[in-house]
Amino acid sequence: MTLDVYVSIFMTVVIAATPILIAALGELVVEKSGVLNLGVEGMMLCGAVAGFSIATTTGATSGGYLAGAAAGAALSMVFALLVLSLSANQVATGLALTIFGTGVSSLTGRPFVGKTVQRLGPLFPHPLSDHPLLRALFGYDAIVYLSLVLTVAVAWFLAASRPGLVLRAVGEGDAAAHAIGHPVIRVRYAAIAFGGALAGLAGAYYSLAVTPMWADRLTAGRGWIALALVVFAAWRPWRLLAGAYLFGAVMTLELQSKAAGVGFVPPEFLAMLPYLATVVVLTLIALRGAGGQRAPACLGKAFRAGG
Amino acid sequence: MEGIGSAPGETAPRLELRHVGKSFPGVRANDDVSFAVAPGEIHALLGENGAGKSTLMKIVYGVQRADEGAILWEGRSVDITSPKAARKLGIGMVFQHFSLFDALTVYENIAVGMDDPMPRRALEARIEEVLSTYGLPLDITREVHTLSVGERQRIEIVRCLMQQPRLLIMDEPTSVLTPQEVEKLFTTLRQLSAEGVSILYISHKLHEIKALCHSATILRGGRVVGTCDPRVETAKSMAEMMIGGELRTAERRGKAAGGEERLIVEGLSVPGTPPFGIELKAVSFTVHAGEVFGIAGVAGNGQNELTRALAGEVVAPRAEMIRLARRPIGHQGPGERRRAGLCVVPEERNGHAAVPEFTLAENTMLTARYRRPLTRGGFMRLAATRAFAEDVIRRFDVRTTGPEALARSLSGGNLQKFIVGREMLQTPDVLVVSQPTWGVDAGAASAIHQALLDLAANGAAIVVISQDLDELLALASRLVVMNDGRLSQALDVAGVSVKDIGLLMGGVHGGDAPVHPHEVTHAV
């Protein structure tokens, strides 16, 4: 009985962590290429509404995820066009993207408020996914496992693959990469598109799995947490994984203690926990020494060839 | 055809430029430049800062496109659209700036420059092979930001040799090497030349060009003003062709040595910043008023740490370890030390000595406000600051549009003149200068040298930290060699040979043991 409760809580943590992990992985790749895209929240909302609308109209939930990723990528291309081809300020453009995405998702999502959607079933077959204990490992939908595969893939891509090396080089020294002959702008376009697609996918996970429904501002600032998580993880995919689950745990703790009615702790304090955790962990990392905390050297700077 | 000084045989030149021109807004960088490099020829490009050498090299390497003219590669007209295209033809370039990634390891820096990716194992083996063949000690697992300037340059050279180029462009390759290392590099270059590799060689060190190059093209103001055979010219005659006038060599006016003790460093020990900083081990020396004191050594032996400790960026464990005349200043920060009379010119110009995104006037404010009345009641005195910056620009012949120019818009040599001038015009009692003329052309270098000697003649004590031995021998009356955070005995410049200093640089104290390449490895 109590074991069952613990397993349930564990699974809630995983579900809460998954979209944050996916969005943050995308942003990590974008930042490694030297671009700061503050529009994660906006892209997530667009992904959420696009995914939900496609899933409800076609009835295909997996099609909804694809649509969510596509919507995120499409919106990110607007950002890329502005900051890469027109050298607009990345911070301002990113903020505008979030505001724009919030508005667009509200507008296009209006007809879908109140509708429901079929969740994706567990990836693994019946005896495993229902087992009272093993469901903690095998009881999730495909997106959860995809997020783990993506973590491994991004870590490997950045650390060991040649395109990943080029991407890091572009983020560390755009002028030098250009001088060697790497296409800085094209690399960054690709990174932004990847980041946008993952943000859209993460958003779709909220509307198609976590809630699952559409409501205005459904993601409730999780895009910002994903952004913070990238810094928090010092631009390392494995730390990102740990960080996302930590945040998932703190958010679940907040919900669970509200539900359990811990009367003497005000709910506002519980809502504060994820942010408090950020401050605590950042402090701990800082105390442990400055090793490996360097942001990509060109983060947020516009690049002009021959300039 | 001009420029083929010693082309062996009748074959077409490896590279030929015909009437190449290039303009930037407001500047004519190259105008009607023509020259040719034969297979196996080592061809020098000579010119002052801003003569158009760098632009020309960027055109050959495909970083920039020429506005007019033609480039012929082995007799065929080619259009070099990108560095990749250049490498495909067989052109390799050792850059002076801007092509390394600080946060990546040496291995990654080399791998990212390879056009034909190969598996990590194979690439590592190939790198080690190039390193040992050409005697370039490097730890390929270290991150670049932990390396000295000299070590960084080695990465550039290795990166280039990995491509097995048929034309090698080298921009100031020897500026941070010991005489022995230079000799080793020259052996490599001569070997490459004998194998038929052409080399385009840019350097300000004219005696090196004389020792190495077969022919030279001289540029001034973006135009070819002459060609010569460096083997029959003198360094002085080439310098004069470069600047189009007579070269004044720096001379000491009167000898003020034996003055009072100005800067006393005693038992200065500072732990190195982890993971790769060099620990300063009981560094002691004394500099007198009117004296130029030289500190020689291969890059990365603690010179940066010493400069920082003297500047006050890192405070000494005990205040008495650094004394200005009689005052202990070891616990003071940079501002207080400046006020007390100690000014410092660090090695990196952009980002350390100057803020690249600030104007020259703002950059003078940063250090000169301690000794010059540039602020009042917490406010900046803009007119006074501007006037001071203008004074520096005029007296040190800084080529710029004025005090409102951004520091990063200046060429390396010009910014160096500005920074040295900024510190000198504060009339310090003690001036510490690190690499005063790195990347600065002969004319400007001699002007900086003269200014340093004049400052000493007026009674200041000057410490010059440099890897350029010729510079130290020309300026200093006494010098020490720094190796692994320790200083050697002070040597009198009058009675010392370059060979002895070279041995000390390699870590051989006493001068009786032979230098093993491995000891050099440890020294860097």
What's the helix, strand, coil split of chain A in %, to 5?
Answer: 75, 0, 25
Task: Report residue B267: phi and psi, to 5°.
Answer: 60, 35
What span, in angstroms and rounded, lies between the C-alpha atoms of A169 and A184? 9
Other Cβ atoms within 10 Å of A19 Cβ, number: 32
Highest mean pLDDT, choosing among A258-262, B159-163, B175-179, B335-339: B335-339
Rounded distance between C-alpha atoms, residue B40 and residue B43, angstroms: 9
Which residues of A are less than 8 Å from B83 in CB distance? 179-181
pLDDT bucket at B523, cuts 50 / 70 / 90: very low
User: Looking at residue A182, which CATH number applies to its domain?
Assistant: 1.10.3470
Q: What 3-state DSSP class applies to B454?
A: helix
Is some CB atom of chain A closer than 8 A to the CB atom of B117?
Answer: yes
3-state secondary structure B262-293: EEEEEEEEECCCCCCCCCEEEEEEEEECCCEE
Q: Where does the pLDDT of residue B345 fall: very low under 50, low under 70, confident under 90, or very high at 90 and above? A: very high
Break chain B into its structural domains and give their ranges. 15-243, 261-523
**pLDDT of amino acid B513:** 37
Tokens of B295: 């500190």
Q: Which residues of B touch A166 (CB under 8 A)?
A: 112
* Smallest CA–CA distance from B114 into chain A, residue: A180
Q: What confidence tens digit (pLDDT) does each residue in B297-341 have?
A: 877 788 889 999 999 999 999 999 999 988 999 999 999 999 999
Above 90 in pLDDT, residue A11?
A: yes
Give dist(CA B298, CA B481) in Å, integer: 9
Question: What b/e sequence results for B447-485 when a residue is b if at least 16 CB atoms lie within 10 Å of its CB, and e otherwise?
Answer: bbbbbbbebbeebbbbbbbbbbbebbbbbbbbbbbbbbb
Nearest one of A221, A246, A233, A282 to A32, comparing CA atoms: A233
pLDDT at A293: 57
Q: What confidence tier does B5 reach under pLDDT thresholds 50, 70, 90? A: very low
Average pLDDT on A282-289 reads 69
- Please say whether the structural domain B15-243 has been given the CATH code 3.40.50.300: yes
What tokens were used for B100?
């390394």
**Does residue A293 fall inside a structural domain?**
no
- At residue B465, does pLDDT exceed 90? yes
Peptide bond into B275 cis (omega under 30): yes
Alpha-carbon distance B132 to nearest alpha carbon in chain A (angstroms)? 24
Long-range contacts of A134-142 (CB under 8 A, 24+ apart): A135/A7, A135/A11, A136/A7, A136/A10, A136/A11, A139/A11, A140/A11, A140/A14, A140/A15, A141/A209, A142/A62
In three-state form (DSSP H/G/I as H, E/B as E, the rest C), the secondary structure along B189-223 is HHHHHHCCCEEEEECCCHHHHHHHCCEEEEEECCE
Q: Which has more confidence, A29 or B491?
A: A29
When divided into structural domains, chain A yields a total of 1
> Per-residue pLDDT averaged across B131-143, rounded?
82
- The pLDDT value recorded for residue B40 is 92
**Among B57, B112, B273, the residue to mutate for chain A (most A Cβ within 10 A):** B112
Residue with tokens 């990528």: A73
Q: Which amino acid is at B510?
A: G
What is the Rg, in whole angstroms, of the alpha carbon atoms belonging to chain B? Answer: 23
In a domain, A265, yes or no: yes
- A273, part of any domain: yes
pLDDT in tens, A104-155: 999 999 999 989 888 888 888 888 888 888 888 898 999 999 999 999 999 9
A208-262 pLDDT, tens per residue?
999 889 999 998 889 998 998 898 888 999 999 999 998 899 888 877 777 776 6
Q: What is the pLDDT of residues B269-294, one digit of tens each?
A: 998 775 567 889 999 999 999 999 99
Q: How far apart are CA A295 and CA B5, in angstroms?
A: 50
Q: What is the mean pLDDT of chain B?
A: 83
CA dihedral B24, B26, B27, B28 (to 10 degrees): 80
| Encoded tokens for A54 | 């496609």
Closest CA to B38 of B265, B214, B288, B212: B214
What confidence score (pLDDT) does residue B160 get? 83
Is any Cβ of chain A less than 8 angstroms from the Cβ of B112? Answer: yes
pLDDT at B159: 84
pLDDT value at residue B517: 36
> What ipTM, to 2 d.p.?
0.81
Predicted confidence (pLDDT) per residue in B27-61, tens digit:
788 889 999 999 999 999 888 766 788 888 889 98
**CB-count exposure of residue B74 (10 Å: 0-12, 13-18, 19+):** middle
CB pairs under 8 A between A and B: 56
A187/A85 Cα distance (integer angstroms)? 13
pLDDT reported for residue A178: 86
With an 8 Å Cβ cutoff, are B103 and A177 in contact?
no
A164, closest residue in chain B (CA to CA): B112
Q: Is the pLDDT assigned to residue B520 strictly greater than 50?
A: no
Cβ distance of A181 and B64 shorter than 8 Å: no
C-alpha B257, offset from chain centre: 29
Could you tell me the residue range of the domain that residue A257 belongs to? 2-287
At residue B309, the pLDDT reads 93
Q: What is the pLDDT averaged over residues A5-30?
A: 94
The structure tokens listed for B40 are 């196996």
Is pLDDT above 50 for A273? yes
pLDDT score, position B238: 82
Query: Is residue A89 over pLDDT 80?
Result: yes
Task: Supply the CATH classification number for the domain B261-523.
Answer: 3.40.50.300
Could B104 and A182 be called an inter-chain contact, meaning their C-beta atoms sit closer than 8 Å?
no
Q: Is B261-523 in the same CATH topology as B15-243?
A: yes
Cross-strand partners of B77: B72
Instruction: Write down the pLDDT at residue B7.
Output: 43
Distance between CA atoms of residues A129 and A137, nearest Å? 8
pLDDT digit string, tens, across residues B393-423 = 999 888 888 899 999 888 777 888 899 999 9
Asked whether residue A302 is assigned to any structural domain, the reply reads: no
A→B interface, C-beta within 8 Å: 160, 162, 165-166, 168-169, 172-173, 175-182, 294, 296-297, 306
pLDDT at A30: 97
Rounded to whole angstroms, the Cα distance separating A244 from A247 reads 5
- What is residue A161's predicted lDDT score, i.e. its pLDDT? 92
Query: Are residues A48 and A209 in contact, defined by beta-carbon separation less than 8 angstroms?
Result: no
> Can you tell me whether residue B17 is helix, strand or coil?
strand
**Contacts of B191 by beta carbon, 8 Å cutoff, 6+ apart:** none
Distance CA B88, CA B104 (A): 25
Phi, psi dihedral angles at B105 (to 5 degrees)? -80, 170
Tell me the pLDDT band of B258, cut-offs 50, 70 and 90. low
Query: How many Å lie between the alpha carbon of A305 and the closest alpha carbon of chain B?
Result: 9
DSSP H helical ranges for B396-482: 412-424, 442-457, 469-475
Q: Locate the chain B residue with the closest alpha carbon to A178.
A: B63
User: What pLDDT does B385 receive?
Assistant: 94
**Residue-level pLDDT at B171:** 82
